[in-house]
């Protein structure tokens, strides 16, 4: 298991936190329609000269990532396998909230995916919520029930909180800093530095929050694999997201009517296709298939062959995932 420090989240209510600063007004016009734009400061377009072989990792993060890989790389590599069911659940929930699915790695550094993780301050669950914050986000926390330990419910709650924070800052690096140390510390760093760029204001943040962001960057890199960093801005996404090549032409896309309890995340994994491209070709796949019982699946010709060759396994894994997601 990965040994990571569990964080203490501020106990102030979201109403107090999210209304306390004029930053909300300043950022009210930001849109979350393309949330990946919030990662703009994490990457650069030119390849760096470093041992990590990353195309877009910000050079200011490289040294930290290298050190983190030495300490936690082996354990995180193992988590790629045993943690996959949890990642599948979080991917689905984060996507439903319109959030980047790589935010699941925040749970990795918060709790190492432990449902019953407890911090010294009383933060509990995979997303490490304090009781007051959890209740504000709609989770039941009492002597009999603690929904902070419920993987699905706590992930929905985390998604709501992350959405609120993104509305304020419009940048996921600042969101992660605020998730760890509270919006008050981030707002203070912005005022003192005169900047809303994490790399410029980082040393005005508490060291714990600053390192929390860098742990996320390192974990994200390790979990996605060498050269497989998935975050990109809208303009970069077509060529960079999960190493996707240019979009196939209509002539190269085949169609097959399917029925059964298939799931988009399982199909995309088996056919080696990123979920963004899959969803572009098959909008509202999961909802439409669940409601109508059939779907006209569209895939590039080579991906369609992979789907046909692996249909039994895809269906089996899809059913297992759906049962896991439905179980409470």
| 139 phi-psi bin (left φ>0, alpha ψ -120 to 50, beta other) | beta
Q: Could you read off the pLDDT of 253-262 as tens digits, one per residue? A: 888 999 999 9
pLDDT score for 326: 64
Q: What is the DSSP string of 63-94?
A: HHHHHHHHHHHHHHHHHHHHTHHHHHHHHHHH
Tell me whether residue 301 is exposed, middle or buried, using C-beta atoms within 10 angstroms of its C-beta: 0 to 12, 13 to 18, 19 or more: exposed
pTM: 0.58
User: Buried b vs exposed e over 260-299: b needs ≥16 C-beta within 10 Å?
Assistant: eebbbbbbbbbbebbbbbbeebbeebbeebeeeeebebbb
Candidate list 102, 110, 147, 277, residue with the active-site label? 110
pLDDT score for 327: 55
**Residue 110 is a catalytic residue:** yes
pLDDT score for 59: 67
| Percent of the chain whose pLDDT exceeds 70 | 73
pLDDT score for 133: 92
| Alpha carbons 71 and 76: distance in angstroms, whole number | 10
| Alpha carbons 117 and 124: distance in angstroms, whole number | 6
Q: Could you read off the pLDDT of 127-169 as tens digits, one per residue? A: 999 999 999 999 999 988 889 988 889 999 999 999 999 989 8
Angle at 118 between CA 117 and CA 120, to 5 degrees: 145
Which residues of the chain, if any, have pLDDT below 70? Answer: 1-59, 225-251, 326-328
CB-based contacts of 86: which residues, under 8 Å, 6+ apart? 107, 113, 126, 151
pLDDT score for 17: 38
pLDDT score for 246: 35
pLDDT score for 28: 36
pLDDT score for 255: 86
Domains of the chain and any CATH numbers: 14-238 (1.10.530.10), 247-326 (no CATH)
H/E stretch holding 15 reads helix 14-19
H/E stretch holding 259 reads strand 253-259
- Please say whether the beta carbons of 318 and 263 come within 8 A: yes
């Amino acid at each position: 298991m990965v040994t990571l420090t569990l964080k203490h989240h501020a106990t102030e209510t979201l109403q107090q936190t999210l209304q306390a600063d004029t930053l909300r007004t300043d950022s009210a016009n930001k849109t979350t329609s393309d949330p990946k734009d919030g990662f703009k400061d994490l990457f650069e377009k030119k390849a760096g000269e470093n041992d990590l072989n990353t195309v877009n990792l910000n050079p200011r993060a490289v040294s930290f990532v290298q050190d983190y890989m030495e300490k936690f790389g082996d354990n995180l590599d193992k988590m790629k396998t045993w943690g996959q069911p949890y990642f599948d659940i979080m991917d689905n929930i984060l996507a439903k909230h319109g959030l980047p699915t790589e935010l699941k790695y925040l749970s990795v550094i918060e709790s190492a995916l432990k449902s019953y993780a407890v911090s010294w301050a009383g933060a509990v669950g995979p997303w490490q919520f304090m009781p007051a914050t959890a209740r504000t986000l709609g989770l039941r926390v009492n002597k009999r029930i603690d929904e902070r330990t419920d993987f699905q419910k706590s992930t929905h709650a985390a998604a709501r909180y992350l959405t609120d924070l993104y509305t304020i800052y419009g940048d996921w690096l600042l969101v992660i800093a605020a998730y760890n140390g509270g919006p008050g510390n981030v707002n203070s760093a912005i005022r003192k530095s005169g900047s809303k760029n994490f790399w410029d204001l980082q040393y005005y943040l508490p060291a714990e929050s600053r390192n929390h962001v860098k742990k996320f960057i390192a974990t994200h890199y390790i979990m996605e694999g060498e050269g497989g960093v998935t975050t990109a801005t809208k303009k970069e996404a077509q060529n960079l997201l999960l190493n996707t090549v240019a979009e196939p032409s209509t002539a190269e896309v085949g169609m097959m009517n399917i029925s059964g309890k298939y799931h988009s995340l399982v199909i995309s994994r088996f056919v080696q296709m990123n979920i963004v491209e899959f969803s572009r070709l098959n909008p509202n796949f999961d909802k439409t298939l669940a409601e109508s019982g059939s779907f006209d699946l569209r895939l590039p010709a080579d991906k369609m062959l992979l789907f046909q060759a692996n249909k039994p396994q895809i269906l089996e894994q899809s059913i297992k995932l759906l049962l896991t997601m439905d179980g409470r």
